[in-house]
Structures are given as C-alpha cells and as structure tokens.
Amino acid sequence: MTLIMKALARLRSGPLPIYVTVAIMFAVMAARGLALPLYADQVGANRAQIGLLFTVFTVAGGVLSIPAGVLSDRFGRRQLVLYSILLAGVTQVAAAFTTNVAFLFVLQGVGGIAAGATQTALMASLADSVPIHRMGRAMGWFTLGMQTGFLVGPAVAGILLRWLNLAEDLALTALPLVAAAALAFIGVHKGHRSQERVRFSAAIQALVRRPGFYAVSIALLAGTMVWGTYQAYIPIFGKRGLGLTGTEIGYLLAIQALSNGLSRVPAGRLLDRIESKGPVVAGSIAVFALGIALLPHLHGFWGPVVLLIVAVPFIATAFIAIGIVFAQLATAESRGVAMGVYSTVLFVGLGLGPAVFAPLIQGQGFAAGFTACAATGIVLSGLSLVARLEPVRRRLRETVVFPPTP
C-alpha cells in the first residue's frame, strides 16, 4: 500500500500524466476521424456531408476553446478535463448506435467542443505545473504525445476493422478514455481557481493588452495555414502530383510524422535556452513554407521524403515556441484563457488554409496553390516580427531618461 501511495504521489508531482492523457485523447480523436467518416458513408451520408462532419468537429472545437479556457480558470483544470473526456466518450459511443446522419452532426459538434476544451485545459495545467524555464521541454513532450496519438489511433482502429464492423470499431476505440480520465484525476492539478466571477470580455481584453500578443497570434495563424494546407492536400498531391501508390503515400506520411515527433523534445530543449522566441518562430515558419513551395517541383518518392525530413522539424519548432510564448503571456488567473485563444487560432488556421487555397489548387494546380500558400505564410511570419517590434519601441520610449537641462 505504501508503494502504491508513493507511486501516486510521484505521478501527481510531475507532468507525465498530462503527456499520457493528451496522447490517449488524441489517439481516440484520430481513431474517430478514421472510423466515423466510413461509418457515415455506410449509413447514407453523401460526400459533402462526410466532409462537413469533419468541419463541424474542428469549428466547434475552435470557436468554444476560449470559453472553455475561461471555465478552466474559474472552476479548475481537472474538472473541465474530466467532464470533457466524458463528453468525448459519450458522443463517440452514441455515434456507433445511430444511423441518423443529422444526429451525427450534433454528436460531432459536441465531440469537437470536448476535444477543444480538453486540449485547452491540459495545456493550461501543464503551464501551471512546469517552471517557465523548462516550458520548451514540456511543450516538446506534450506535442510528442499529440503526434503519437495521431499515429497510433488510426493504426489501431484500422487493425480492429479486421474483426469488428465500423459501429463496433467506433465504440471500442472510445474505451481508452477511461484510462485517460483516471490519469487526469491523478495527475492533472486543479490549478488556479478564481474566487471572483470571471468576465469573458475582461479576460480577453487583459490578454490582448499583453506585449507580443498580436505578434504571436499572427505567427500562429501563419504556421497553421501553411501546415493545414499541406496536411489537407498531401494525400491527393502524392497520388496525382508525385504519382505515388497508396502504400507509398502511407510511407511518406509515416516518415513525415516520425520526423515531426522525433524533433519535438530536442526542439523544446533548444528553445529553453533561447530567450527571444519571435525570430525563431518567423524563421522556422519561413523555412517550412519554402519547403512547401519546392515540393510540387519534385518527383517520385525519395526527393519529397528528404525534403519533408528536413522541413517538418522547423514547423514543429515554431509550434512549440508559440506554445511557450502563450504560456508566458498568461498570468495564473488567465492561463486557461490564453490557451483557449491558442486553440482557437490553431483550429481556425488549420481550417482556413485549405479553404483559401482550394480554388487556386483546383484551377491552377498544386504548384500555384502551394506557392501562394508558402508566400502567405512567409509574409505573415514577417508581419509577426513587425508587430513584435512595436511593444519593444513602446517600452523603450517609456524607459528613456532625458538628462536635466543646464
């Protein structure tokens, strides 16, 4: 019994339960992302409806991440994580027991809210429990957990389809959320609970007044638009642009994901040693964007593989650095709000990129679309540096001491 208590105390004292919880949560989300579209097709949804099911999930998660952050600041991180995990599990199991396409949209909306709230509260809890000088390393492990979930979830769901039908697959892949809830109960700290009623508008206004807020938000939008466009179109580009088989596209994505995951912790350790994150963010986004512009001009398998192995760690580094800056912007009372804003911009950018550049890709081809996307990312990352300079100039003006006149 004593050993068990010591083990639980050790779990509570470190961020490991947060890393494992986010890995499980994202694995379940990714499994849902594989099985639910197939199930929707089976019960009669058309192609447009299947695509909109994904949109509803991401938009709901993004739009309501800020209110979720306010709730986590008001009532504590642990409660929000536990309720969100419960909602995610209930909606996924319920989806397996309905053949009503309209009800699937409702379940996707609620599931998206749960996913966004869980990510927001877990990031806020991580920022609560880790010293700021170690935040890069912590964000590296956190995002590695997310990437691991994205890899493991669809793989497990696909393998289970050998023995299960789609409805059973949906229901069974929600089961790991029980373990996620147990870990969250043990390892997610309650966090700061405001004794005063949190006003939504006041919390947002306090955050946007912080020096560097607009700069880091523009940088996050730049990175997510480029990354979201790449993620949305790389499967079809691999088939039509590179002439790869389905198996080769799978290998390409797996190698890219491996490069992404393996770079996270080293990038976080490096960022802990760098005081000024802004130039690192802008430069990393620009390097990845240049890689995306070059991608349509390559052919075959190995050229794109080498390019992605080199380019993907840069965008991974940018996202980790952005997460650190959002943690630094927040006070203990507003950390949930800050992470809610982070999640909202993240979801919006990931969805906005593919939507903005879809007409150009459809009408002019991948080279034109990817080049325009890359140029937009570079311009926005440069703009983030310009926005970053204004608070510096303001502080300098406030601290200038004029010598007394003779």
CA–CA dist 8, 344 (Å, integer): 33
Q: Which two tokens stand for residue 402?
A: 């004029």
Please tell me the predicted confidence (pLDDT) of residue 194.
52
pLDDT value of residue 87: 94
Q: What is the pLDDT of residues 283-319, one digit of tens each?
A: 999 999 999 999 999 999 999 999 999 999 999 999 9
- ∠374-378-381 over CA atoms, to 5°? 135
Query: What does pTM read for this prediction?
Result: 0.79
What's the pLDDT score for residue 295? Answer: 96
1-190 against 198-399: fold identical: yes
Question: What is the CATH architecture assignment of 198-399?
Answer: Up-down Bundle (1.20)
Residues of the chain with pLDDT under 70: 1-14, 47-48, 51, 190-201, 203, 332-333, 389-406
Return the residue matching tokens 């890689």. Answer: 291
Instruction: Quote the CA–CA distance of 243 and 133 in Å, as a whole number.
Output: 46
Could you tell me which of 170, 171, 153 has the C-alpha nearest to residue 39? Answer: 170
What's the CA gap between 156 and 89, in Å, rounded? 17
DSSP 278-334: HHHHHHHHHHHHHHHHHGGG--TTHHHHHHHHHHHHHHHHHHHHHHHHHHHH--TTT
pLDDT at 20: 92
Q: How far is residue 296's CA from residue 289's CA, in Å, rounded to a whole number? A: 12
Q: Where are the alpha helices (DSSP H) in 162-301?
A: 166-172, 177-187, 200-208, 213-240, 246-272, 278-294
364 to each of 46, 228, 326, 358, 361, how far by Cα in Å? 27, 19, 37, 10, 5
Residue 13's pLDDT is: 54
Q: Does domain 1-190 have CATH number 3.30.2270.10?
A: no
pLDDT at position 332 is 66
Q: Where are the domains of the chain?
A: 1-190, 198-399
